[in-house]
Chain A
Amino acid sequence: MVSIQLHTEPFEPLHALACWQAALVELPAGQPAAESHFLGRVRATTANGERLTALELEHYPGMTEAQLQALAAAAAQRHGATAVLVQHRVGRVLPGETIVLVAVAADRRGPAQRCGQELLEALKHEAPFWKREWSGGVGTWITGNTPL
């Protein structure tokens, strides 16, 4: 079970998790025993250490959703995970707001954690998103990812 959603407005990650978990209870085999969750927020500073006004997230409508779906399905299959949830912001995101939520449900903690980490790294490099940092009225496109 793969669930993908892009948000153009702030979303409440714990509410999203609760909704997803309620759906897991309804699975024919019942709620999986293990879950891993990752929640990423926009940090308050730019890559150069200046105060960040906002982060702008551009995406490729259609391809981004399809890539997220494919990456999540592939990771779930590789690790034998039961369910995967990915929620991601697009547009203007403010410091402290949640930018990404990845959750994985599996029968055991190992697959849940490994699948979640692999999927997070995959979406950072293989899903078409582009970040622009805004600070002091100047926007700067980011051409890489922060270190793991």
Chain B
Amino acid sequence: MAPSAQTVMHVRVRLFAGLRETVGWSETQVELGPAADSALATSPTPAQLWRQLGLQPGDPPAGVRVAINQQFASWDTALSGGDELAFLPPISGG
């Protein structure tokens, strides 16, 4: 069933490692439009949410990658309600 205009949609945003500690939180819920008090579009991109959340630097940094629902994605992918968005600082495994 398609969500009605009154349905409140959220995106769960997660941060990891040094990025999490720099920003000071590990996850938050972002409410998407068309809720009256939401400035966000119904399908924002990770780049838009990065700026909306006041993450620094203002333009998404080259070393940070994006995952949507635990899969790598691009900064201009349209998000949907219920998505889990993660901003991933430079990886250093192995």
Contact = CB atoms under 8 A, between A and B. Distances in A.
Interface of A: 40, 57-58, 60, 62-63, 66, 88, 99-100, 120, 123-132, 141-145
B91 interface: yes
B55 interface: no
Contact of B70 (A60, A99, A131, A142): A60
A125 B91 contact: yes
Contacts of B88: 60, 128
A88 B18 CA distance: 21
Nearest to A62: B70
Contact of A141 (B18, B67, B93): B18
5 contacts: A127-B93, A128-B88, A129-B94, A141-B17, A143-B89
B21 to A, nearest CB: 8
B72 to A, nearest CB: 8
Contact of B93 (A62, A63, A123): A123
A62 B71 CA distance: 10
B94 A100 contact: yes
Contacts of B14: 60
Given A58-B16, A63-B86, A130-B16, A142 B67 contact: no
A145 B71 contact: no
A60 B91 CA distance: 11
A50 to B, nearest CB: 18
Given A124-B93, A129-B93, A144-B90, 10 more contacts: A62-B70, A66-B70, A120-B94, A123-B93, A126-B91, A128-B67, A128-B88, A128-B93, A129-B92, A132-B17
Contacts of B90: 143-144
Contact of B91 (A40, A66, A130): A130
B94 A145 contact: yes
B24 interface: no
B17 A63 contact: no
